[in-house]
Amino acid sequence: MKITIHPLFLAAGLLSALVGGFPVFVICVLTALLHECGHIFCAARLGYECTRISLMPYGAAAVCDIEGISPSDELRLALAGPAVNFFICVAVAGLWWFFPQTYAYTDILFYANSAMLVLNLLPAYPLDGGRAAKCALVRFLKPSRVNIVLRAVNVAVSALLVAAYFTAIHNVTVLFAAGLLLVSAFQKAPPVQRINFAARKKKRGRVIRYVILDGDATFKDALRYVDDSRYLVLQFYDEKFLDEITEDELFERLSCRNLYDKILS
């Protein structure tokens, strides 16, 4: 997993250090990283791969290839990040209940995760709430109409954030978020490139891991067992032995198939 750092992220860290807000900056960065780790672990569990995390002045973003993902899996992936922030908030609140004196040391952690949770649940794309809304809309509307609805929602949410800034929340980051959502509403999504699993380098000395699957197992079912430290060998049974394929053979078959296809079909 690579971590790329935007120059403006370093500038934001330096500025926070000069004005005495570096501890808050660090906590916010860690909050964003934990949020993205929720997405990364969920993606790996679902059989997808994340290549890097980008640290930018407005937060962090995991870069994952989710070509061909089903709406139900994309919904899980979208909610995995906010789920991490939610559980951290619950854990910190529980800590305050049993040890009230810890409030002075953990209040920023709680508020940072609360803000991350609320912001990402807004129904504006590409926030997690917007991705969840997209998964719901594709069940009832055509893709072209879904895009129109999401863009309209982005504009509406941006307007509400601007109104909130002038009426209640006098924080410049609110305006910044509104601007990003407004730009996202009219930005074309980058093309998705299929992961080339077959191009992975083979490591010597890897332990062989045997996994038994049903005969109707899909590529998605198999990829959750892929581990860089162990070489995967799959054995298929349906009351009796059906077939055995190696990790290389699995990736070779996947190169011309869909993630939700059956491996033995």
The reported pLDDT for the residue numbered 183 is 79
- The closest of 75, 63, 56, 72 to 192, measured between CA atoms, is 63
Whether the pLDDT of residue 124 is over 70: the answer is: yes
pLDDT tens, residue by residue, 40-63: 998 888 878 788 888 887 778 888
The model's pTM: 0.75
pLDDT tens, residue by residue, 64-77: 877 778 888 889 99
More confident residue, 144 or 89: 89
Whether the pLDDT of residue 193 is over 60: the answer is: no
The reported pLDDT for the residue numbered 76 is 92
* Percent of the chain with pLDDT strictly greater than 70: 92
Domain borders along the chain are: 1-121, 125-195, 197-254
Across the chain, the runs of DSSP E, i.e. the strands, are 2-5, 49-56, 59-65, 207-214, 230-237, 241-246
Whether the pLDDT of residue 38 is over 90: the answer is: yes
**What average pLDDT does the structure give for the chain?**
85
Grade residue 169 by pLDDT with cuts at 50, 70 and 90: confident
CA dihedral 132, 152, 57, 27 (to 10 degrees): -40
Q: Tell me which H or E stretch contains 38.
A: helix 22-46
Grade residue 91 by pLDDT with cuts at 50, 70 and 90: very high
Show the tokens assigned to 193. 């490139």
